[in-house]
Amino acid sequence: MALDRNNLVQLMKTVAKADPSAPVSYSFGGESFSYDALNECLRQELNEYAGTYSLYRENKNLIFSIIEETLDEVLPKKVEQAYMQFAETKTFAQGDKPMFKRKRDARQRAKQFVTRVGLTGIYEVFKLGKSEDESFEVRTSAIGGAAQIGFEEFLDGRVDFAEVTAIIMEGMDELVFKEVGHALKASINQLPPANIVITNGFDEKEFDRLLVIASAYGEPSIYCTYEFAVKMVPTEGWRYTESMKDELWRTGHLANYKGRKVIILPQGLQDETNTRKVINPGYCYIIPSGADSKPVKIAFEGGTIVDEYVNKDRSREIQVYKKVGVTAMLANNICAYADTELLGQYNLAESIWDSTAFVSEVQAYPSSAYYKA
């Protein structure tokens, strides 16, 4: 007998929150399950509601409402966990203005500016004043995606709604992560020239110079993708300990660079062709802690909307709509490093580095920023 709606919602939320790679058990209904067992249970339960076309037609609105409720709870928390080190995440009701308040520090000496970013690019840049309680709005725009199901798949009983739901969840995650990357990249253009390095490869001397600048405002942390962290290794003159050698062997990168914590940003691929990454791996950000509030603001507005679109061939697209806003509130206490070699790996379909593509990526950088070919 199929679970009722409330229990099915709890099951889907538990699966959505779980980490498939973690060797732990998850509790549901008073029992413990592995992730695989839990996911299989969800698959079977959803098949009870949508295993055939007739069942799907009868229960699709119920399934959509369950996905909506799950996304509304799980997506903001997943985003917050992924970027909690430097991003502030809030949820607002539909129609409410997503307002964030700047928190000033007594030793704050950095001049701040805000770059509002959305799916269409930069909205505007403005500097914040000296008011202790100054607030600003994070404008939201719609993000979304769709999972297509062939009509014959319904007829043959080959539709796996647990997999469809997982695809939707992962896709929405990656869209938000991508917007965070856009916000940070767009804000680089507003940094002082001394805070930016653009070069081919990892230049230890210049990277350390940026660390000195950020350290003047607080203890800095280094934010980058795994691809960047792998290259961020001191020269042979640096004295390696046995634990550092072991760490490099196990993880491929150092968890700390000269005493500064290295935080790996989530990475993924945009589609099944495996040709384009979600986050451009060529950018690295050095952000001091304690100097001010978290520099990235993420706002979720209103509820998720899941609906169906029927194509001419009778296939179905399960479409998802969610309003999200991302704003970067950077200042001259933050530094950025762009590795042009890694920037070229953003699009994996291009086997040869195209310098014109790089120009379009960083076209607005100040001419006086450090650049080394």
Q: What is the pLDDT of residues 151-178, one digit of tens each?
A: 676 566 676 667 777 777 777 877 787 7
1 assigned to some structural domain: no
Nearest-angstrom CA–CA distance, 69 and 80: 18
Q: Domain containing 199: what range? A: 51-372
Nearest-angstrom CA–CA distance, 262 and 306: 37
36 assigned to some structural domain: no
209 vs 145, residue with greater confidence: 209
24 assigned to some structural domain: no
pTM, two decimals, is 0.72
Residue 234 tokens read as 């001191």
Structural domains counted in the chain: 1
129 assigned to some structural domain: yes
Sheet bearing 256-257, strands edge to edge: 256-257, 260-264, 220-224, 283-288, 335-339, 196-199, 370-372
Nearest-angstrom CA–CA distance, 43 and 63: 12
Nearest-angstrom CA–CA distance, 295 and 306: 31
Is pLDDT at 287 greater than 50 in this prediction?
Answer: yes
Residue 152 tokens read as 């014959």
181 assigned to some structural domain: yes
| Angle, alpha carbons 140-128-141 (nearest 5°) | 5
pLDDT digits (tens, 9 = 90+) for 165-222: 777 777 787 778 778 877 877 778 778 899 999 999 999 999 999 999 999 888 889 9
Q: Above pLDDT 70, what percent of the chain? A: 75
Alpha-carbon distances, residue 373 vs 76, 131, 201, 323, 344 (angstroms):
40, 42, 9, 40, 14
26 assigned to some structural domain: no
138 assigned to some structural domain: yes
Q: What is the DSSP letter of 217?
A: T
265 vs 362, residue with greater confidence: 265
Q: Assign 3-state DSSP to the chain and report helix, strand, coil percentages, each to 5.
A: 35, 30, 35
The residue count of the chain comes to 373
pLDDT digits (tens, 9 = 90+) for 104-138: 543 444 444 444 444 443 333 334 444 455 677 78
252 assigned to some structural domain: yes
Torsion, Cα 138 127 190 292, to 10 degrees, reads -70
